[in-house]
């Protein structure tokens, strides 16, 4: 029985940072060589970072990416390296290079280009020839197939073709973003593909944050029976080294009750014939899956950490209102950056309760962050005097919004003064219905929980406390009715349906793209549905002006959901009165 030692390079490249990405790849190849690996597999488009987007319109960027690949190939020795890069011919291709012995041994081009959700690959790349099966690579005496991300999702994609043509192990390079529940779906799909093909499958995914996207790693090795035999930890960089046992192809086909799916043998590029692995196989590592609250919290932490640091910031500032949203954002920021790099600001007005002020103080003490108090009352009064020219109140929500804008201006002033990035604290429920002030509480550099519904905010705060073994987020914050405190005795449920009613409607209308009629038919209150749908639709212009934030669902505001601002489709308005 043959054996091949494979290193899974679950890495965190930065889009556009070609020199830094190159340095990381070379160091990882050296580590794999030291572990006597036969091949090290990197994620999709490791050289450029994923997704490079309109950087691909710059010929100089593409050329520099090709020079980096040449440097990687020159650095390889006995351990082969499979690296994702941008290939340029008459068109651009999302590609992988198999490098060994100081040169490129062969190339593979991605065949299935996703163009849905957050993916825009058809904008930039041409698909590899789906009719040409390509070559296998003989590494350590094992016939190895290679594919890129989406290619493995198709049941009749390259994995099936290569396995029928003689592949014994298949390497799949990925840039697969996180969303809740996706890892279990991945494992089910990959297990099915491996067992259908009777071929061991190595899935390598990148990790880290890139703008709104978070990549969660979770790289895997699956045996020909579809069972997970190795699982890398999630949300962290990791080099997993695994010995894969390879049974003869003919045996797998003889015992397959579905028959013997074969085709003419594929051409083979010989890289190496003998495994470099030690006589004794390595112990297989298999990290335990994360619980839903844990994986969601880690996604927020990684997305925040990488957005702040990759954009050249070290510190962040947060307006601490004493409410649950700012408390969760502060807890995420402390986990991501450390308490010394997180700064809280209490900005009371004439409507701020004493409890909110003390709750913010207790939170700051528990998290170990500094807290300064800056009253917005002088600025608020100055605005009132300037605008109304007398004692008459300003109409509508003007005075409430003015307070929020005083706070936003204060936070941005501190950002200018000290170089801190402002983290906004609005959640997805508020973002959806426009329950925020444009140029006020929406001001900032990054919106940490913009894709987290309010009810899930409560779940995550309870998770933070349970993990800490104490009320890191004070119970008073978790238990109090939510309020913006912009007028006397204000509560959110005076302006919105209760969140336990609102959030299921938003999940249907926003995340699942269901119509108002469908939601009503499924049992939701008609008046609530029409009201919520109208609020969601009319506030698209506000959301479009908000900062980016961590994407944790399959339909986040931003890359996923792209509705026109000027929109005459009015099914949400409800029946005429």
Q: What are phi and psi of 544, to 5 degrees?
A: -65, -20
Nearest to 176 by CA among 221, 222, 117: 117
| Angle, helices 59-75/18-34, rounded to nearest 10 degrees | 20
Q: Which residue out of 37, 79, 99, 149 is catalytically annotated?
A: 149
> Is 461 among the residues known to form the active site?
no
> Is 44 among the residues known to form the active site?
yes
Handedness of CA 43, 49, 51, 53 (dihedral sign): negative
Distance between CA atoms of residues 322 and 359, nearest Å: 5
H or E stretch including 524? none
In the three-class reduction of DSSP (H, G, I as helix; E, B as strand; rest coil), residue 329 is classed as helix
Q: What's the token pair of residue 462? A: 């309870």
Q: What are phi and psi of 119, to 5 degrees?
A: -95, 135
Q: Which residue out of 33, 110, 150, 450 is catalytically annotated?
A: 110
Pairing type for strands 136-139 and 39-41 reads unpaired
Nearest to 203 by CA among 171, 160, 162: 171
Per DSSP (E only), the strands in 163-216 are: 169-174, 200-205, 207-210, 213-216
Cβ count within 10 A of residue 241: 18
Q: Which residue out of 44, 168, 298, 399 is catalytically annotated?
A: 44
Helix and strand totals (H; E) in the chain: 18, 20
H or E stretch including 113? none
Radius of gyration of the chain, Cα coordinates, nearest whole angstrom: 27
Distance between CA atoms of residues 457 and 121, nearest Å: 33
Q: What's the token pair of residue 230? A: 């190795």
Distance between CA atoms of residues 392 and 507, nearest Å: 41
> Is 149 among the residues known to form the active site?
yes
Q: Give catalytic residues, as residue numbers.
A: 44, 110, 149
């Amino acid at each position: 029985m043959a054996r091949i030692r494979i290193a899974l390079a679950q890495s965190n490249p930065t889009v556009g940072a070609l020199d830094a990405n190159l340095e990381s790849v070379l160091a990882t190849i050296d580590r794999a060589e030291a572990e006597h690996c036969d091949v090290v597999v990197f994620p999709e488009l490791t050289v450029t970072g994923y997704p490079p987007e309109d950087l691909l319109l710059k010929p100089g960027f593409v050329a520099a990416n090709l020079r980096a690949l040449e440097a990687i190939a020159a650095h390889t020795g006995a351990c082969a390296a499979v690296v994702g890069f941008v290939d340029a011919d008459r068109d651009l291709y999302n590609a992988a290079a198999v490098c060994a012995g100081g040169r490129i041994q062969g190339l593979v081009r991605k065949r299935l280009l996703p163009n849905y959700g957050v993916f825009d690959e058809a904008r930039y790349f041409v698909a590899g020839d789906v009719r040409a099966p390509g070559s296998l690579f003989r590494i350590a005496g094992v016939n190895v197939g290679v594919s890129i991300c989406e290619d493995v999702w198709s049941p009749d994609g390259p994995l099936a073709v290569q396995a029928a043509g003689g592949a014994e192990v298949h390497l799949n390079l990925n840039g697969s973003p996180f969303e809740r529940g996706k890892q279990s779906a991945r494992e089910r799909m990959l297990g099915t593909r491996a067992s259908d093909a009777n071929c061991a499958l190595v899935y390598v995914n990148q990790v880290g944050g890139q703008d709104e996207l978070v990549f969660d790693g979770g790289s895997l090795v699956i045996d020909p029976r579809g069972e997970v035999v190795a699982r890398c930890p999630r949300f962290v960089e990791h080099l997993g080294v695994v010995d894969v046992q390879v049974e003869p192809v003919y045996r797998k086909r003889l015992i397959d009750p579905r028959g013997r799916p074969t085709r003419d043998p594929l051409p083979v590029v010989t890289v190496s014939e003998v495994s470099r692995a030690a006589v004794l196989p390595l112990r297989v590592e298999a990290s335990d899956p994360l619980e839903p609250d844990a994986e969601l919290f880690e996604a927020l932490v990684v997305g925040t950490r990488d957005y702040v640091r990759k954009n050249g910031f070290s510190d962040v500032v947060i307006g601490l209102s004493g409410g649950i949203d700012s408390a969760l954002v502060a807890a995420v920021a402390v986990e991501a950056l450390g308490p010394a790099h997180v700064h809280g600001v209490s900005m009371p007005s004439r409507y701020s309760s004493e409890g909110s002020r003390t709750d913010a103080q207790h939170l700051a003490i528990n998290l170990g962050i500094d807290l300064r108090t800056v009253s917005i009352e002088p600025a608020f009064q100055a605005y009132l005097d300037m605008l109304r020219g007398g004692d008459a109140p300003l109409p509508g929500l003007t005075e409430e919004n003015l307070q929020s804008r005083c706070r936003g201006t204060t936070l941005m002033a501190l950002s200018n003064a000290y170089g801190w990035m402002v983290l906004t604290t609005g959640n997805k429920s508020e973002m959806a219905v426009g329950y925020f002030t444009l140029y006020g509480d929406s001001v900032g550099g990054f919106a940490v929980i913009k894709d987290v519904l309010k009810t899930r905010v409560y779940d995550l705060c309870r998770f933070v406390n349970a993990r800490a073994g104490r009320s890191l987020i004070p119970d008073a914050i978790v238990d109090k009715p939510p309020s913006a405190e912009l007028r006397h005795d204000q509560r959110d449920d005076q302006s919105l349906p209760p969140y336990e009613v609102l959030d299921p409607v938003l999940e249907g209308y926003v995340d699942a793209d269901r119509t108002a009629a469908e939601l009503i038919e499924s049992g939701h209150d008609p008046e609530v549905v029409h009201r919520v749908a109208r609020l969601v639709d009319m506030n698209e212009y506000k959301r479009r002006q908000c900062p980016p934030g961590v994407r944790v669902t399959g339909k986040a505001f931003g890359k996923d959901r792209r509705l026109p601002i000027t929109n005459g489709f009015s099914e949400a308005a409800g029946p005429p009165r």
